[in-house]
């Protein structure tokens, strides 16, 4: 959206003498000025450690941090602020859940259903836990169009299935999974569901109560907020049953040398000084998204994706990876027999930032029999003009690398 570009100072930078075209939004989004100002203002005017202080600044910082939690709660429509656990990002959220859930609920051999399209951060944490307890990962395959094979998903349940942990949206292909159906099927087997929402929340209005999802993880930096912040949402009844993740300050009610009793939710899972300035900037990013409106963002991004897909196919020699009808604004592709890395380097020399490689989803690359893709991913501030320049530049890249 042209009118919003002014909010993002970095978009007027040049790279290699060319105006920056930033199409690496699935990796991280740029930040609006209001978010950066919130960080600066936080350090200039509101910096004091939270929760334990009686003095003015500490109380103000505590209030801002807990306000931020309520903002997140409202954003995903959680039932209670105590269900919002601040983490360093999606990765830490999934690790937190993998570790504590394994402790609480995996006794004999447990099976966890994941999928071939998962980001490594929804595979490796489970593998790490399988070094402590007997855990078998069962992966839902993907179809040629890059969708979850739902018949296979249904067939993966057994009496040992303890959790389903799936991406809401694929970071490589943009596929929006049918999470409603995924959750219904899992719940029919009495199995809770964790959704990795890292790529969903920036593009789709998520309502955790309406979805009836049990756990939901996402990152601030992919939705115009600061890095090093994220969320694990969990239903209160389930979070109550999990042991703490890390020990330290904040997460305790009382400590003696022999024994500790733990704090209430959500603090039980938040050991140590949190990023209380990051949380307020994160909340500002969510307010910013609300001020523009999810519907407007989604409609704009859908149009960008439709336009870019058409233009790309018209170029010829393109293989799109992920052709689901229901996609978020992410476009992965291969161009002739050009190595994605070479294309990425050349695009960079024209000021265009895309991501190349396996996108931390090597099992998906294996399923498609490829090493990597070129990925262009869009955000609310991208424009059709930028896509035109991108396509023109790709035509040049094609000529240069494949004369
Ligand atoms: N899951 C998905 C689907 C992602 O795209 C990413 C980030 N690329 C992550 C998890 C990890 O997020 P973070 O690095 O912010 O923890």
3-class DSSP string for 209-229: HHHCCCEEEEECHHHCCCCCC
160 and 184, same domain (yes or no) = yes
Ligand 1 atom 12: residue of nearest CA: 90
Which residue among 255, 290, 325 closes a domain?
A: 290
114 and 131, same domain (yes or no) = yes
User: For the chain, how many structural domains are there in total?
Assistant: 2
pLDDT of 403 above 80: no
Around Cβ 42, how many Cβ atoms within 10 Å?
A: 20
Distance CA 304, CA 376 (A): 11
263 and 159, same domain (yes or no) = yes
CA of residue 101 to ligand 1 center, whole Å: 20
Averaged pLDDT for residues 313-333 = 97
From 360, 370, 391, 401, the catalytic residue: 360
In this predicted structure, which of 226-230, 327-331, 398-402 has the lowest mean pLDDT?
A: 398-402
Q: What is the CATH number of the domain that holds 369?
A: 3.90.1150.10
Note the pLDDT tens digit of each residue in 74-132: 999 999 999 999 999 999 999 999 999 999 999 989 999 999 999 999 999 999 999 99
214 and 352, same domain (yes or no) = no
> Alpha helices, DSSP H only, in 236-293?
236-239, 276-292
Q: Is the CB of 121 within 6 Å of ligand 1?
A: yes
307 and 189, same domain (yes or no) = no
* Contact call for residues 182 and 192 (beta carbons, < 8 A): no
CA 214 from chain centre, in angstroms, equals 17
Torsion over CA: 118, 122, 128, 131 (sign): negative
CA of residue 399 to ligand 1 center, whole Å: 34
pLDDT at residue 378, rounded to an integer: 98
In this predicted structure, which of 10-19, 45-54, 234-243, 348-357 has the lowest mean pLDDT?
A: 45-54
* Contact call for residues 374 and 340 (beta carbons, < 8 A): yes
Helix crossing, 340-349 with 384-401: angle to 10°? 120
Q: Which two tokens stand for residue 69?
A: 């939690």
231 and 310, same domain (yes or no) = no
Which residue out of 199, 221, 362, 377 has the highest number of ligand 1 atoms within 8 Å of its CB and is therefore the one to mutate?
Answer: 199
Tell me which residue range forms the domain holding 355.
2-30+293-401
Distance CA 128, CA 139 (A): 16
* Contact call for residues 31 and 8 (beta carbons, < 8 A): yes
pLDDT band at 186 (very low <50, low <70, confident <90, very high): very high
Q: Is the CB of 91 within 6 Å of ligand 1?
A: yes
Around Cβ 45, how many Cβ atoms within 10 Å?
A: 10
Distance CA 224, CA 289 (A): 8
391 and 350, same domain (yes or no) = yes
CA of residue 55 to ligand 1 center, whole Å: 37
Which residue out of 329, 360, 377 has the highest number of ligand 1 atoms within 8 Å of its CB and is therefore the one to mutate?
Answer: 360
pLDDT at residue 86, rounded to an integer: 98
pTM of the model: 0.98
Q: Is the CB of 196 within 6 Å of ligand 1?
A: yes
Label the pairing between strands 110-115 and 260-262: unpaired
In this predicted structure, which of 225-239, 244-258, 368-382 has the lowest mean pLDDT?
A: 244-258
168 and 227, same domain (yes or no) = yes
pLDDT at residue 241, rounded to an integer: 98
Which residue among 242, 269, 290 closes a domain?
A: 290
Q: 374 has which bridge partners?
A: 333, 356
Q: Is the CB of 119 within 6 Å of ligand 1?
A: yes
Q: Is the CB of 199 within 6 Å of ligand 1?
A: yes
286 and 393, same domain (yes or no) = no
Matching residue, tokens 């303890």? 162
Atom index in ligand 1 nearest the CA of residue 88 equals 16
Q: Is the CB of 194 within 6 Å of ligand 1?
A: no
* Contact call for residues 265 and 251 (beta carbons, < 8 A): no
189 and 319, same domain (yes or no) = no
Active site residue 360: yes
Q: Is the CB of 343 within 6 Å of ligand 1?
A: no
Note the pLDDT tens digit of each residue in 263-310: 999 999 999 999 999 999 999 999 999 999 999 999 999 999 999 999
pLDDT band at 133 (very low <50, low <70, confident <90, very high): very high
pLDDT of 52 above 90: no
| Residue 381 backbone zone (phi > 0: left; psi -120 to 50: alpha; other: beta) | alpha
pLDDT at residue 94, rounded to an integer: 98
Note the pLDDT tens digit of each residue in 369-379: 999 999 999 99
pLDDT at residue 41, rounded to an integer: 97
Which residue among 232, 255, 290 closes a domain?
A: 290
Q: Is the CB of 219 within 6 Å of ligand 1?
A: yes
Torsion over CA: 355, 358, 364, 366 (sign): positive
CA 81 from chain centre, in angstroms, equals 20
Q: What is the CATH number of the domain that holds 91?
A: 3.40.640.10
112 and 236, same domain (yes or no) = yes
Question: Residue 266: is the preceding peptide bond cis (ω within 30°)?
Answer: yes
318 and 172, same domain (yes or no) = no
CA of residue 58 to ligand 1 center, whole Å: 32
CA 52 from chain centre, in angstroms, equals 31
pLDDT at residue 53, rounded to an integer: 83
């Amino acid at each position: 959206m042209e009118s919003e570009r002014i909010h993002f100072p970095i978009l007027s930078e040049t790279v290699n003498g060319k105006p920056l075209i930033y199409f690496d939004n699935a990796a991280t989004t740029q930040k609006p000025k209001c978010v950066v100002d919130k960080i600066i203002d936080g350090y200039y005017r509101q910096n004091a450690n939270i929760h334990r202080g009686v003095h003015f600044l500490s109380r103000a910082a505590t209030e801002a941090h807990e306000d931020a939690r309520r903002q997140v709660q409202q954003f995903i429509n959680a039932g209670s602020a105590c269900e919002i656990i601040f983490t360093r990002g999606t990765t830490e959220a999934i690790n937190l859940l993998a570790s504590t859930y394994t402790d609480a609920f995996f006794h004999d051999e447990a099976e966890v259903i994941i999928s071939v399209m998962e980001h490594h951060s929804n595979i490796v944490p489970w593998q790490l836990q399988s070094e402590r307890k007997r855990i078998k990962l069962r992966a839902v395959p993907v179809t040629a169009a890059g969708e979850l094979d739902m018949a296979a998903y249904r067939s993966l349940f057994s009496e040992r299935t303890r959790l389903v942990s799936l991406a809401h949206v694929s970071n490589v292909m943009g596929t929006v999974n049918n999470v409603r159906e995924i959750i219904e099927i899992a719940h029919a087997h009495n199995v809770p569901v964790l959704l990795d929402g890292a790529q969903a929340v920036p593009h789709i209005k998520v309502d955790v109560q309406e979805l009836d999802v049990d756990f939901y993880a996402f990152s601030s930096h992919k939705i115009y907020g600061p890095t090093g912040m994220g969320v694990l949402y969990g239903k209160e009844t389930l979070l109550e049953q999990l042991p703490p993740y890390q020990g330290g300050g904040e997460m305790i009610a009382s400590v003696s040398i022999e024994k500790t009793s733990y704090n209430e939710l959500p603090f039980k899972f938040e050991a140590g000084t949190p990023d209380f300035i990051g949380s307020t900037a994160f909340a500002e990013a969510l307010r910013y998204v609300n001020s523009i409106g999810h519907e407007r963002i989604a409609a704009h991004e859908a149009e960008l994706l439709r336009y870019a897909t058409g233009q790309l196919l018209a170029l010829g020699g393109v293989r799109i990876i992920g052709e689901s009808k229901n996609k978020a604004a992410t476009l992965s592709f291969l161009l002739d027999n050009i190595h994605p890395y070479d294309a990425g380097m050349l695009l960079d020399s024209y000021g265009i930032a895309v991501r190349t490689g396996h996108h931390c989803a090597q099992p998906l690359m294996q399923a498609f029999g490829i090493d990597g893709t070129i990925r262009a991913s869009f955000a609310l501030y991208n424009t059709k003009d930028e896509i035109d320049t991108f396509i023109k530049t790709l035509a040049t890249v094609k000529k240069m690398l494949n004369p």
